[in-house]
Amino acid sequence: MAETFALIGGGYATSRAADCLRQEGFQGRIVLISEEQHLPYSRPPLCKKGLLVDMPVKRLVLRHQNFYDDNNIELRLGASVTGIDRRNRIVTIESSEPLQYDKLLIGTGGRPRTLPIQGSDLAGIHVIRTVEDARGLKAALAPGVRLVIIGAGYIGMETAAAARMAGMDVTVIELTGRLMSRVVAPVTSEFFARYHLDHGVKLMPHRSAMAFEGAGRVEAVLLDDGQLVATDVVLVAAGNIPEYRLAADAGLECEGGIVVDDRCRTSDPNIFAAGDCTRHPSVRYGRRIQLESVDNALEQARVAAAGMCGRRVRHAHVPWFWSDQYDLKLQIVGLSDGFDEVIVRGDADKPGFTVWYLKDKEVISMEAVNSPIDFVQAGRWIGGGAKVDAQILADADRHLDEAVLVPAAPPDPLASSTDAMVEASYDRHLAGREA
């Protein structure tokens, strides 16, 4: 009897996992369940080009129908999972037959944080997660229309750029003192701030929204400093919350996200999780992290698929991120935990510069603005533990290779993931649960 692997969620993690399961040679049944009506699609464009032009979902899908057909992957679209019965290994689905599974992957992603403040149910207040969200926001956009964006993260700033390109009046309200403060160095934040200001975006740092005002429809945002910012439309871009309700209800260990190990296993050996909904231990960084990242979702999907097929592959990957604003491509690779030196290479006033985080001369993270080739080099260095001479690195006239003190180790195909202790502790962990 062929096994059934069920995949819950309609994003990067589940569609990539379906692909990887087939590449692993899994010949059983694969069922992908998504509450959205569409094939799994790409969300990043929604707050960029998606706000400027009509983007049919066909141009956003991660894989086309022929991929699912050719690989014999069943799709249950528009199907909302109501619960997971772990004992009987059954997924219950709203107004649909329940699904018996042998292995389950949860890839439910995240949902936009909403603000628990007065007036948040007024019309004209948007979030962006789905293509419908984006269409709703796009419909409200027109030249001269006032838009307040709450949150200066990737989504907020990407939307700001798109809205400016559409001729809108854009104000960004940010709790901290700088843009994308969670992910980039101050120098990079400053560069982007200047770029946005030059493009006419109004930035209001160190402030937060206290209430939305208006009669049925939002007309102004009340800030914590008492200012009232008049507006026609609001986008709340205050970060994402991992969507782990299903897992928590099913009694899986959760901690602000579904807790998984470095093989993407949850506390139930038949259930795996991948993507934004997880909190996972990083072999590389020695701590549990939760990433909102396409790359992480793809990599965890690969690891989970291998695990579902009984193969031991660990998640020890160098994470990377990107953001597109105007004609700028911001690329980040690695996490900067514990850096002891930051090097700026190139002119931080102009696109093309890079920022390098070193820890005992080893490159651990890097940010690039319109410098994709250096980004790839940084990825190799970080993956291979290369050490560099900071002074040479800082000199943009010298070739990157000249800075190398200890070259990167070649990519380790096994991803250096054999950590017997983690393994043993997980096994103990499972044993304890079952007892």
Partner 1 sequence: MRVEDRPREGAARPFKASLDAWSRAVKLAGGVGFGLKQLPRSDKLLGPGGGRGKWIAADCWPDCGSKGYNKAYVEDGVVVRMGTDDNIEDSWNRPQLRACARGQSLRLWLLGADRLKYPMKRKNWEPGGGQKELRGKDEWVRISWDEALDILAGELKRVKETYGNRAILANFVGTITARFLGAYGGFTEQWGGHSLGTWMNAIFFTGYEMQWSDRFDMVETKLFLLWGTNPVWSQAGLPAYTYWEAKKRGARFIAIDPFYNPTYEMLTDEWIPIRPGTDHTMLLGMMHTLVVEDDPSTNPLIDWDFMHRCTVGFDRDHMPEGVDSSENFVDYLLGKDDGQPKDAEWASEICGVPPERIRWLARELAKERDAVLCTSGGVARVDNADSLPQAFITLAAMTGHIGRAHSQLALAHHFGTNGGPQLVQGQNSRSYSNSHLRAPPVLNPLASNTMAGGLVVLPTPGCINIYEINSAVLNEQYTEVDGAKTPIDLRMIYHAHGSRVNQIPNTLEAIKAHRKVEFVVTQNMFMNADAIYSDLVLPVTSRWEREGNVCIGYREQLLWHSKVMEPYFECKDDLWIGVQLAKRLGVDPTIVEPWSWGQEIFNQVADARVMQDDGKTLEPLVTITEEDLAHFGFEGEPQVGRIPIREFQEKGIYHIPREPGDNHSFVYLEAFRNDPERHPTHSQSGKLEIHCQALADVVNNLGWAKIRPIPSYNPPLEGYEATFSDWPARIKGEYPLQIYNVHMPRNAHTFFDNATVMRELFPHEFIMNPADAEARGIANGDTVLVRSPWGKILRTTWVTPLVMPGVCVLGQGARVDLDEETGIDHGGCANVLKGGTLTGGGHSGFNSVIAQVEKWTGAPLRPDLDRGAIIPLPGERM
Partner 2 sequence: MSTQLGFYLDAAACNGCSVCLVACKDKYDNPVGVNFRKVIHQTMGHWEEDSAQPGFLVPQISAYTLSIACNHCADPVCLEACPVAAIQKQEDGLVLIDKNICVGCRLCQCCPYDAPQFNEELGVMTMCDGCVDLQGTGEEQACVAACPQRALEFGDVEELAHKHATRVAGVEPLPDPAITRPSLLITPHRNSPLSRSEIDG
Q: Which residues lie near partner 2 (CB under 8 A)? A: 16, 19, 42, 44-45, 49, 56, 58-64, 66-67, 294-295, 298, 320, 322, 329, 331, 372-373, 375-376, 379, 411
Among partner 2, partner 1, none, what does residue 413 contact (CB within 5–8 Å per kind)? partner 1
Beta carbon nearer to partner 2, 72 or 391:
72
- Give the span between the Cα atoms of 9 and 5, in whole angstroms: 13
Using CB under 8 A as the binding rule, whether residue 311 contacts partner 1 is answered as: yes
Tell me how far CA of residue 70 lies from CA of 5, 159, 366, in angstroms.
17, 36, 39
Q: 10 Å Cβ neighbour count for 221?
A: 28
Q: Please identify which residue in 36, 158, 276, 299 interacts with partner 1, judged by CB under 8 A.
A: 299
328-357: buried (b, 16+ CB within 10 Å) or exposed (e) per residue? Answer: ebbbbbbbbeebeebbbbbebeebebbbbb
Stretch binding partner 1 (CB under 8 A), from 171-179, 195-203, 271-279, 412-420: 412-420
What are the E-state strand segments in 310-396?
320-325, 328-333, 341-345, 354-359, 362-369, 387-388
Q: How far is the CB of 214 from partner 1 (least distance, A)?
A: 45
| Structural tokens at position 353 | 């510069």
Beta carbon nearer to partner 2, 221 or 291:
291
* Residue whose token pair is 């990079």: 188
Q: How far is the CB of 173 from partner 2 (least distance, A)?
A: 27
Using CB under 8 A as the binding rule, whether residue 317 contacts partner 1 is answered as: yes
| Structural tokens at position 89 | 């290994």
Q: Please identify which residue in 263, 302, 345, 387 interacts with partner 1, judged by CB under 8 A.
A: 302
Q: Please identify which residue in 123, 248, 376, 424 interacts with partner 1, judged by CB under 8 A.
A: 376
Q: Please identify which residue in 17, 20, 46, 99 interacts with partner 1, judged by CB under 8 A.
A: 20
| Structural tokens at position 244 | 């782990």
* Residue whose token pair is 């931080």: 348
Q: 10 Å Cβ neighbour count for 60?
A: 20
Among partner 2, partner 1, none, what does residue 426 contact (CB within 5–8 Å per kind)? none
Tell me how far CA of residue 8 lies from CA of 13, 246, 271, 307, 408, in angstroms.
9, 10, 11, 16, 38
Amino acid at residue number 47: C
Q: Please identify which residue in 3, 253, 295, 395 interacts with partner 1, judged by CB under 8 A.
A: 295
Beta carbon nearer to partner 1, 300 or 323:
300
Among partner 2, partner 1, none, what does residue 62 contact (CB within 5–8 Å per kind)? partner 2
* Residue whose token pair is 């009694």: 251
Q: Please identify which residue in 112, 119, 156, 379 interacts with partner 1, judged by CB under 8 A.
A: 379
Q: Please identify which residue in 79, 134, 415, 426 interacts with partner 1, judged by CB under 8 A.
A: 415
- Give the span between the Cα atoms of 91 and 289, in whole angstroms: 28
Among partner 2, partner 1, none, what does residue 64 contact (CB within 5–8 Å per kind)? partner 2
User: Which residue, 106, 19, 96, 83, is CA-closest to 250?
Assistant: 83
Q: How far is the CB of 335 from partner 2 (least distance, A)?
A: 17
Beta carbon nearer to partner 2, 39 or 172:
39
Among partner 1, partner 2, none, what does residue 383 contact (CB within 5–8 Å per kind)? partner 1
Q: How far is the CB of 68 from partner 2 (least distance, A)?
A: 12
Among partner 1, partner 2, none, what does residue 373 contact (CB within 5–8 Å per kind)? partner 2
Using CB under 8 A as the binding rule, whether residue 25 contacts partner 1 is answered as: yes
Helix (H, G, I), strand (E, B) or coil at 191: helix
Beta carbon nearer to partner 1, 138 or 265:
265
DSSP string, 41-104: B--GGGGTHHHHS---GGGTBSS-HHHHHHTTEEEEET--EEEEETTTTEEEETTS--EE-SEE
Instruction: Please check whether residue 7 is in contact with residue 273, taking contact to mean a CB–CB distance below 8 angstroms.
Output: no
Tell me how far CA of residue 187 lies from CA of 9, 166, 242, 345, in angstroms.
37, 28, 29, 11
User: Which residue, 217, 229, 221, 315, is CA-closest to 264?
Assistant: 315
Among partner 1, partner 2, none, what does residue 27 contact (CB within 5–8 Å per kind)? partner 1
Q: Which residues make up the interface to partner 1 (CB under 8 A)?
A: 20, 23-25, 27, 295, 298-299, 302, 306, 311, 313, 317-318, 376, 379-380, 383, 410-411, 413-415
